[in-house]
Amino acid sequence: MGGEIRNGNVEKATISIPEIKFTKLFINGEFVDSISGKTFENIDPRTEEVIANVSEADKEDVDLAVKAARQAFDHGPWPRLPGCERRRIMLKLADLMDENVEELAALDALDAANLYSLGKAKQIHDGAELIRYYAGAADKIHGTTLKMSRELQGYTLVEPIGVVGHIIPWNFPIQMFVLKVGPALSALYCAHLAKQAGVPDGVINVVTGYGSTAGAAISSHMDIDMVSFTGSTETGHRIMQAAATSNLKAVSLELGGKSPFIVFDDADVDRVAPLALVGCFFNQGQICVAGTRTFVQEGIYDKFITRLLEEVKAWVVGDPFDPNVNQGPQVDKKQYEKVLSYIERGKKEGATLLVGGKPLPGKGYYIEPTIFTDVTDDMTIAKEEIFGPVMSIMKFRTVEEAIKRANGTKYGLAAGIMTNDLNIANTVARSLRAGAVWINCYFAFDNDLPVGGYKMSGFGKDMGIEALHKYLQIKSVATPISNSPWL
Answer whether 381's CB lies under 8 Å from 342's CB: yes
* CA atoms of 120 and 322, how far apart (whole Å): 12
pLDDT on residue 185:
59
Find the length of the chain. Answer: 487
The amino acid at residue 358 is: K
Q: Do 334 and 436 sit in the same domain of this protein?
A: yes
Can you give the pLDDT at residue 77? Answer: 96
For 4-60, the three-class secondary structure string (H helix, E strand, C coil) is EECCCHHHHHHCCCCCCCCCCEEECCEEECCCCCCEEEEEECCCCEEEEEEECCCHH
pLDDT at position 353: 98
**Same domain (yes/no): 285, 325:** yes
Task: Provide the pLDDT for residue 173.
Answer: 63
Instruction: Establish if 487 belongs to a structural domain.
Output: no
Please check whether residue 276 lies inside any domain of the structure. Answer: yes
Domain residues for the domain of 112 are 9-255+461-469
The 8-class DSSP code of residue 356 comes to -
456 domain-assigned: no
For residues 209 and 241, membership in a common domain is answered with yes
Domain count, the chain: 2
pLDDT number for residue 455: 97
Could you tell me if 242 and 265 lie in one domain?
no
Considering the domain boundaries, does residue 72 fall inside one? yes
pLDDT tens for each residue of 282-336: 999 999 999 999 999 999 999 999 999 999 999 999 999 999 999 999 999 999 9
- Return the DSSP state at 199: P
Is 190 in contact with 174 (CB distance < 8 Å)?
yes
| Identity of the amino acid at 149 | S
**Cα(319)–Cα(325) distance, rounded to whole angstroms?**
7
Taking 3-state DSSP, the helix, strand and coil percentages for the chain, each rounded to the nearest 5, stand at 40, 20, 40
217 and 328, same domain (yes or no): no
Pair 233, 271 in one domain: no
On whether residue 484 sits in a domain, the answer given is no
Task: Please indicate, yes or no, whether residues 298 and 278 belong to a single structural domain of this protein.
Answer: yes
Do residues 182 and 268 share a domain? Answer: no
Q: 143 and 173: one domain?
A: yes
Give CA–CA dist 384/376, Å, rounded: 13
**Structural domain includes residue 4:** no
Is residue 481, in this structure, part of any structural domain at all?
A: no
* Nearest by Cα to 5 from 217, 220, 315: 315
DSSP string computed for 148-180:
--TTEEEEEEEEE---EEEE--SSSHHHHHHHT
Distance CA 309, CA 274 (A): 10
Answer whether residue 453 is part of any domain: no
Closest CA to 320 of 35, 34, 105, 26: 105
Shared domain for 220 and 267, answered yes or no, is: no
Torsion of CA 166, 181, 159, 80, to 10 degrees: 130
Q: What's the CATH number where 418 sits? A: 3.40.309.10
Are 260 and 416 a contacting pair, CB within 8 Å?
yes
Active site annotation includes 337: no
Centroid of chain to Cα 392: 22
Cα–Cα distance for residue pair 428/411, rounded to 1 Å: 17
User: CATH number of the domain that 46 lies in?
Assistant: 3.40.605.10
Among 356, 262, 250, 366, which Cα is nearest to 311's? Answer: 356
Q: Is-contact 66 162, C-beta < 8 A? A: no
Give the pLDDT score at 6. 45
Cα separation, 466 vs 48, in Å, equals 40
Q: What is the rounded CA–CA span in Å between residue 241 and residue 237? A: 6
- What is the reported pLDDT for 481? 83
Is there a contact between 392 and 378 (Cβ–Cβ < 8 Å)? no
Crossing angle, helix 101-112 and helix 185-197, to 10 degrees?
Answer: 150
* Beta-bridge mates of residue 55: 39
Q: What is the pLDDT of residue 66?
A: 98
Strands in 145-146's sheet, in edge-to-edge order, are 145-146, 152-160, 472-480
Euclidean distance between CA atoms 306 and 84, whole angstroms: 56
Point out the residues of the chain with pLDDT beneath 70.
1-16, 170-177, 179-185, 483-487
Residues 154 and 284 in one domain: no
For 264-336, list the strands marked E by DSSP: 293-297, 316-317
Residue type, 32: V
Q: What distances in angstroms separate CA 406 from CA 68, 204, 232, 290, 424, one per listed residue?
A: 46, 40, 20, 14, 14
Residue 231 DSSP SS3? coil
Selected catalytic residue, list 56, 254, 368, 385: 254
Same structural domain for residues 97 and 21? yes
